[in-house]
Amino acid sequence: MTYNSFAQDNLRFKIVRGKTDTVNSRSHFIIGVAPLGAEIFINGMKVKQYSTGSFGTQMMLQDGVNPVEIKVYSGSEEMTDSFSVFYKQSSLQEVRDVPFFKYPVVVTKKGAYLNSSPGGDRLGGAKMNFLSEGIKMELLGVEGNLYKVKLSDNRSAYLPRYYADLLPVGEMPAFSVSSSWSVVNSGKYDKVRIALENRQPYIIYRNPQPNQLVVEIHGTVNNSNWITQYRNLKSIDYVHLNQISSDVLQVVIGLKEKFSWGYNVDYVGNGLEISIKNTPEVLYSRSKRPFAGLTIGLDAGHGGTSSGAVSPSGIKEKDLNLDMVMSLKELIESNGGKVVLSRSEDIDVSMQERVDIFRNANIDIMVSVHCNAGGNPLQPMGTSTYYRHIEYRPLAKGILDRLMELNVGEFGLIGNFNFSLNAPTDFPTVLVETLFMSSLPDEELLASPEFRRDMMEKVAAGLEDYIGDVRESLK
């Protein structure tokens, strides 16, 4: 059999694609040909030349004029070409824009989140999810310390005023037409990337049956005509979209694994990125040390000027919480785990600082330890565990099941709990309310170092059960 080669020996340098004055797409390709064996640089970056003589690169254009300089070195000869590409937003955006918007508009700041209602209790309004900064929304009204904002034509929500700025009169709220998607594995995460024209508000929720993560992007019209999905995905089974109303695009992500190890939604530029944490690799193997290879965040509630509950005899909750967390730390480390603490001494640490500590440490699981208060002081009030997101219910239930082996009262498994450290979706979280400081029988148990140690042994056993269940699900 004879094979023919189509590379040419007499190629001259020329640009065959990309020498365009004005474009409407931020992604821009420069393609050319040059003598074989040449060294080629585009804006100072060396690019690959193929055996055919062809070369190319992809540029992400900035608004306005984008200069392009190409240099080709072939032997002793230097060849150059330079031109500019002007990028402007698509005509669709120009048609939608009006010179002046008569209603007020707010833009989110770092740490922003949405509430579903203006109501509140000691834990604040019912949170929906966190939002990226830089999202513009029409302001519908003000209720106390909350802005009522328009997400889409048929949906509104409440945003704490502290996490938003009012924009100058005439600013437009954001609106987008979606374009291409990609679904990739990036090591510890599978990521869905959706190209949008602007940063739009979104709502996130998990469906246990079927096993899906759903993100609704508001103020968005679908023009995504392909979704590129790679075969090396670990957590994501499939991705689909639905235009569920005239200006809400629904992202449906089918998940492979029964247990969730965390996810988050954020913007990279104007592209929405949904990151789903893959099951830690160590859990695919057997280990005699149940926590080996895992990093567990432990939070001792209160501290410093925040004493928490105080028992009738004067015991402070903050002191018991720290004592129990240090015991739990020892138990986890003795079984191979790494521990990250939100505090290791009697100091003030804000809720946001605690969340940041755990996020920055890239923990796998978070346990917050508290003592409860309230109710009948002459009755044992019991123990309880709490979760916010339905996917972390098995963790909370497993720990409560173990705590109930101590022959204490049951205060319950509490879901949808609006506690700051249950709010993140980045990792599984559980709040353990050990016993009641205000109950005389419970106080007597909590005052015993041996009993506090017993409680933490049960928490550790519940964690071990949970990890064992994960390993079983991976068989």
- The CATH fold of domain 14-88: Immunoglobulin-like (2.60.40)
Going from the C-alpha of 246 to that of each of 33, 171, 181, 250, the distances in angstroms are 46, 23, 20, 11
Q: Which of 228, 226, 284, 270 is nearest to 89 (CA)?
A: 270
Identical topology for domains 14-88 and 90-279: yes
pLDDT tens-digit map of 76-107: 999 999 999 998 765 444 444 445 788 999 99
> What architecture is domain 90-279?
Sandwich (2.60)
The ranges assigned to domains in the chain are 14-88, 90-279, 282-473
Has residue 8 got a pLDDT over 70?
Answer: no
Has residue 369 got a pLDDT over 70?
Answer: yes
- Across the range 344-370, mean pLDDT stands at 96
Has residue 187 got a pLDDT over 80?
Answer: yes
pLDDT tens-digit map of 388-403: 999 999 999 999 999 9
Has residue 236 got a pLDDT over 90?
Answer: yes
Burial of 395-429, coded b for 16+ CB within 10 Å and e otherwise, reads: bbbbbbebbeeeebbebeebbebbbbbbbbbbbbb
**Superfamily holding 282-473:** Zn-dependent exopeptidases (3.40.630.40)
Q: Which two tokens stand for residue 226?
A: 């392909």
What pLDDT is recorded for position 94? 46
What pLDDT is recorded for position 4? 53
- Across the range 19-33, mean pLDDT stands at 87
- What mean pLDDT, rounded, does the chain reach? 92
